[in-house]
Chain A
Amino acid sequence: MRPSRYNTIILSLALLFTVPACTKLDVPPMNVVQDDDIFGSPNGIASYMARLYGQLPIQDFRYTPRRGFNEFWIIDPFPTITGEALSANQSSAETEAVYYWGNAYALIRDINYFIKTLPTYMEASRFSQEDVDHWLGEAYFMRAVTYFELAKRYGGVPIVDEVLNFPEQPIEQLQVPRSSEEATYNHIAADFDQAWELLPESNQTGRANKYAAAGFKSRAMLFGGSIAKYNEITLFDNENSRLCGIPAERAADFFKQAYDAAKLLEGHYSLYKNGWQADDKEAQYQNYVDLFFDEESPENIFVKQYGYPESVHGYDVYNIPYQFQVAGYSSSVNPTLDFVELFDGLPKTSDGRIEVYDAAGKYELYDNQMDFFADAEPRLRATIIFPGDQLKNETVEIWRGIYTGDVAGGIDRLQPVGARTTYENSSAASRLVTSAVPQQEPHELPDGTLMNPAGRSGRFFNFAAPALTGFSVRKWLNPDMPPALVVENRSDQTWIELRYAEVLLNRAEAAYELAEAGEGGADYLGDAYECIRQIQERAGADILPSPAALTSIDIIRKERRKELSFENKIWWDLKRWRIMDDEQNGRTYRALMPFYAENAEKWFFDDRFEERNAIFTFDTRWYYQQIDPGEITKSPNLVQNPGY
């Protein structure tokens, strides 16, 4: 064969492959989404927004202080470290165990990138000014929310308002030092204000409108004002910038901003009262249950939606009373008696503690368990499950044991006041029949009928979780979910992150603080009273008679602890009031244990320290959480919080 033929073939092959390749070598990678894809169309923007909202730090059904945001296994949520409730998985005071830092700045970077890039695409993509404003408003809203989550954890944090580039920028420029706590709150306020200017009146459900921005601003400014007024911890950096603590003279200004922001929502939202009727406790109870499930509620300002099967959580499975358990979990949140005592309509002693004895010091006897709670505030009944109340058309059976002793002349205290030993280890043991575990032998009553020594939902003395405190949580539990479907990753009820009741409470608290500081300009005390009155009326609680009766900030705080319980807000409130260390100083929470006296055929209740004797002591260092030591090693400009 002649070599020239080979040459021809090789040459033509070379031409064949190289000539078409001559157009361009520098093409964007096909497997990476480009700016043009995102900023070229409203759909692209929607997908970017979905990602931002998905990462927004919302402490909802998928948050726990031990695991952080967007987790699934939520058996030790916030209420179990605030004293609202106890969990078998939680036996001491704790703070958040994960560092919310890196994820926050990743989100802030994505937001900053959006704010920087969107305007450059406005013409090419033919976006209207209105749309661009709305989207930018959402971005500012989310940036403020994220900075607020950082500030309430760490105090002053580095403020990054533009996109930082590495390796284009030298490392020194990227090691942004912490701003003062005051400047951080000022920045949060400015972002919320900008969001208020840009956002529309209404938006798709789950996305922020301008009232969400105002409502969140009232929350954040109230936090800042509380820090200025109540915080005692200070930290300065080398430039004398105050990283922890806000000068006390700023308190009134922050409270004023909180008040003004809360007031912006007036007339646009209202408390949910669709099924509410005056003087009808049953209707008020049902109304309060429904408020968490009505998607059209006029009270919902900002929500996070779920939908089976794409986006789910497990609130029902982790918190259902034991008798409904099908998936291996139940009863993670057991409200404490200390919490229950905050509410009205229960038999109480003069110092506000629950009263289970009669005048002679013997146990008060009741025909039915629910008789004890007959006059209870409807809001309490909608918040927790009482022993003997109904759930899913079934009676929730909660009792500790059967009292077999003599009842003539009344029943004496089973144990002295303040006892910490279990009933089984006490001298009362011989007069009681109890059960260690849910698999129990029925006990024969004097009339020959059989009765379980403990209720089907607890409490069992060797199996602490079910009805640990004698109660179970009801708030957020889906009343219509068939018991067989109460399994993990099956719940999809909406989380209401901000509802109008909180805005009213923010307004009342800010107003009271302003009145106390002697600020003029409005009838702050009267306004605080009116907000509290509305909340109390809807709840079916005892209503304060007049503004003059509003004599202490504690009245407003108590109302807040009742209304917003189990909504993952109370932890932050106790922290910003700087009372968490008083609340939890060697504290053991209390329980209410129902017993059936078989010879009297009646029920009685025993008030006692919960039997595990878990002791809660809050470490004051936790008022400012530890910054991730890994981040400290990355930047010498990042000063650690005190005590770590």
Chain B
Amino acid sequence: MLNDYSNHQRLHLTTKKQKNKQMKAKKIITYVLSGLLCTGLFSCQKLDNYAPPSETLQGRVIDKATKAPIQTEMGDRGIRLRLLELSWSDNPTPYFFTCMQDGTFNNTKIFKGNYNVVPQGPFVPLILRDGNGDIITDESQTVDIEGVTDLTFEVEPFLNVEWVGEPVLNDNGSITVQVRVTRGTANPDFQQDVTEIALFINSSSYYVGDNNYDNRYTVRITGTEANGSVGEVVTLTTQDSFSMNRDYYVRVGARIDYNVEGAQRFNYNEPKKVAIL
């Protein structure tokens, strides 16, 4: 009985406490609501005074000779497009976006306006200046971007990298490939030495290149050896031995001793998948 009584007492106490709590909660809700009303009412005007950018700029960068798209890597060491919006200023701050790996580009969030567009990548620059900074050639395109605007840029790549045969999977967990690197342009100003030919390998992604590779297996040839290989069939084998429990993606890149926008950019062949599983 005693037990029962005390339990009852406790029960009673709890309900009182709960009531207090409920009252407090009500008060808090009132405050929060009035707070919300205050801020909500004043912010009810308009979300933004501009429409979001909705025009599309798409297209491709292709080889002048073969009309094939220029293979590149993703990111700003591949091909990037420089846009100058001339609608409101002669000297605008440039806007950049980058090409996809296969040399195409597609940007669906561009403001409507008049733009100068030029791609920058591993090919003879479309805007060339002499030693005094005077422009000698300018193959950039100035267009009104509205709706879907499609542009094609024809360029001369520094180098062509072609597969010779298919990649061969070796028993010890390595891959051997053969490629031929040739000059892609006859322009005498862009016949600098080939500084590097590299076999990039990646164990997880089709997006393979200097931006995304497994450094345990990737091999490079550099210096005179690289420069001497122009026009020859080059055989490259990945170093060390890798796990045979997954597929690999391989691709060969080559570059010359010329900086485009500060970087020596690679020309590539198409990535290939080496199926193991």
Give A residues with C-beta under 8 Å from B. 232-234, 236, 238, 240-242, 247, 420-421, 581, 585-586, 613, 615, 619-624, 632-633, 636-637, 640-644
Partner of B216, one of A236, A420, A581, A636: A420
Q: How far is the CA of A623 from the CA of B259 in the complex (A)?
A: 11
Encoded as 1 (CB less than 8 Å from any A CB) or 0, chain B from 255 to 267 comes to 0001101111000
B37 to chain A, nearest CB (A): 37
Contact status of A623 and B262, CB under 8 A, knowing A240-B134, A585-B220, A613-B215: yes
A416 to chain B, nearest CB (A): 11
Give B residues with C-beta under 8 Å from A. 76-77, 89-94, 129, 131-134, 195-196, 198, 215-216, 218, 220, 222, 239-240, 258-259, 261-264
Are the CB atoms of A619 and B92 closer together than 8 Å?
Answer: no
Residues of chain A within 8 A (CB-CB) of B216 are 420, 613
Contact status of A615 and B215, CB under 8 A, knowing A233-B259, A247-B131: yes
Are the CB atoms of B262 and A240 closer together than 8 Å?
Answer: no
Q: Which residue of A lies closest to B192 (CB)?
A: A232
Top 4 closest pairs, chain A to chain B, by CB: A643-B262, A621-B262, A236-B133, A240-B133
Q: How far is the CA of A632 from the CA of B92 in the complex (A)?
A: 11
Are the CB atoms of A232 and B259 closer together than 8 Å?
Answer: yes
Residues of chain A within 8 A (CB-CB) of B89 are 636
A351 to chain B, nearest CB (A): 15
Partner of A642, one of B133, B220, B261: B261
Q: Which residue of B lies closest to A232 (CB)?
A: B259
Are the CB atoms of B263 and A643 closer together than 8 Å?
Answer: yes
21 sample A-B contacts, Cβ–Cβ < 8 Å, listed by A number: A232-B258, A238-B91, A240-B133, A240-B134, A241-B133, A247-B131, A420-B239, A420-B240, A585-B195, A586-B215, A586-B218, A586-B220, A619-B263, A620-B262, A620-B263, A620-B264, A636-B91, A636-B92, A640-B94, A642-B259, A643-B261
B6 to chain A, nearest CB (A): 56
Residues of chain B within 8 A (CB-CB) of A581 are 264
Partner of B262, one of A233, A633, A636: A233
Q: Which residue of B lies closest to A640 (CB)?
A: B94
A53 to chain B, nearest CB (A): 34
Contact status of A621 and B263, CB under 8 A, knowing A236-B133, A633-B93, A636-B89: yes
Residues of chain B within 8 A (CB-CB) of A621 are 77, 261-263
Q: Which residue of B lies closest to A244 (CB)?
A: B262
| Other A-B pairs, 6, CB within 8 Å; known A420-B216, A621-B261, A643-B263 | A240-B133, A247-B131, A585-B195, A619-B77, A641-B262, A642-B259
Q: How far is the CA of A586 from the CA of B196 in the complex (A)?
A: 10
A594 to chain B, nearest CB (A): 25
Contact status of A632 and B263, CB under 8 A, knowing A236-B133, A240-B133, A247-B131: no
Residues of chain A within 8 A (CB-CB) of B196 are 585
Are the CB atoms of A643 and B76 closer together than 8 Å?
Answer: yes
Residues of chain B within 8 A (CB-CB) of A641 are 262
Q: How far is the CA of A291 from the CA of B137 in the complex (A)?
A: 57
A432 to chain B, nearest CB (A): 21
Q: How far is the CA of A247 from the CA of B130 in the complex (A)?
A: 12
Q: How far is the CA of A632 from the CA of B195 in the complex (A)?
A: 34
Q: How far is the CA of A409 from the CA of B73 in the complex (A)?
A: 53
Contact status of A585 and B262, CB under 8 A, knowing A420-B240, A633-B93, A637-B91: no
Residues of chain A within 8 A (CB-CB) of B133 are 236, 240-242
Contact status of A585 and B129, CB under 8 A, knowing A620-B263, A636-B92: no
Contact status of A240 and B220, CB under 8 A, knowing A621-B262, A636-B93, A641-B262: no
Residues of chain B within 8 A (CB-CB) of A636 are 89, 91-93
Q: How far is the CA of A643 from the CA of B262 in the complex (A)?
A: 5
Q: Which residue of A lies closest to B132 (CB)?
A: A240
Q: Which residue of B lies closest to A641 (CB)?
A: B262
Are the CB atoms of A236 and B129 closer together than 8 Å?
Answer: yes
Q: How far is the CA of A421 from the CA of B263 in the complex (A)?
A: 32
Q: How far is the CA of A615 from the CA of B129 in the complex (A)?
A: 36
Contact status of A234 and B91, CB under 8 A, knowing A586-B220, A643-B263: no
Q: How far is the CA of A242 from the CA of B91 in the complex (A)?
A: 17
A221 to chain B, nearest CB (A): 23
Q: How far is the CA of A633 from the CA of B132 in the complex (A)?
A: 28
Most chain A beta-carbon contacts within 10 A, residue among B76, B134, B195, B264: B264
Residues of chain B within 8 A (CB-CB) of A644 are 76, 262
Q: How far is the CA of A306 from the CA of B91 in the complex (A)?
A: 48
Q: How far is the CA of A420 from the CA of B241 in the complex (A)?
A: 11
Q: How far is the CA of A641 from the CA of B76 in the complex (A)?
A: 14
Residues of chain A within 8 A (CB-CB) of B218 are 586
Residues of chain A within 8 A (CB-CB) of B92 are 636
B251 to chain A, nearest CB (A): 16
Q: How far is the CA of A581 from the CA of B261 in the complex (A)?
A: 15
A425 to chain B, nearest CB (A): 11
Most chain A beta-carbon contacts within 10 A, residue among B133, B220, B264: B133
Q: How far is the CA of A396 from the CA of B259 in the complex (A)?
A: 46
Most chain A beta-carbon contacts within 10 A, residue among B94, B215, B239: B215
Residues of chain B within 8 A (CB-CB) of A623 are 262
Most chain A beta-carbon contacts within 10 A, residue among B76, B92, B239, B259: B259
A434 to chain B, nearest CB (A): 21
A247 to chain B, nearest CB (A): 7
Q: Which residue of A lies closest to B92 (CB)?
A: A636
Q: How far is the CA of A94 from the CA of B13 in the complex (A)?
A: 67
Residues of chain B within 8 A (CB-CB) of A242 are 133
Q: How far is the CA of A247 from the CA of B131 in the complex (A)?
A: 8
Q: How far is the CA of A223 from the CA of B109 in the complex (A)?
A: 44
Q: How far is the CA of A566 from the CA of B195 in the complex (A)?
A: 30
Most chain B beta-carbon contacts within 10 A, residue among A581, A586, A613, A632: A586
Q: How far is the CA of A626 from the CA of B220 in the complex (A)?
A: 28
Are the CB atoms of B132 and A585 closer together than 8 Å?
Answer: no
Residues of chain A within 8 A (CB-CB) of B198 are 586
Residues of chain B within 8 A (CB-CB) of A643 are 76-77, 261-263
Residues of chain B within 8 A (CB-CB) of A238 are 90-91
Q: How far is the CA of A641 from the CA of B196 in the complex (A)?
A: 25
Residues of chain A within 8 A (CB-CB) of B264 are 581, 620
Q: How far is the CA of A636 from the CA of B263 in the complex (A)?
A: 24
Are the CB atoms of A642 and B262 closer together than 8 Å?
Answer: yes
A154 to chain B, nearest CB (A): 12
A412 to chain B, nearest CB (A): 21
B90 to chain A, nearest CB (A): 8
Residues of chain A within 8 A (CB-CB) of B258 are 232
Q: Which residue of A lies closest to B90 (CB)?
A: A238
Q: Which residue of B lies closest to A588 (CB)?
A: B215
Q: How far is the CA of A247 from the CA of B196 in the complex (A)?
A: 28
Q: How far is the CA of A633 from the CA of B222 in the complex (A)?
A: 40
A146 to chain B, nearest CB (A): 24
Q: How far is the CA of A632 from the CA of B90 in the complex (A)?
A: 16
Residues of chain A within 8 A (CB-CB) of B132 are 240
Q: Which residue of B lies closest to A421 (CB)?
A: B240
Q: Which residue of A lies closest to B96 (CB)?
A: A644
Are the CB atoms of B220 and A624 closer together than 8 Å?
Answer: no
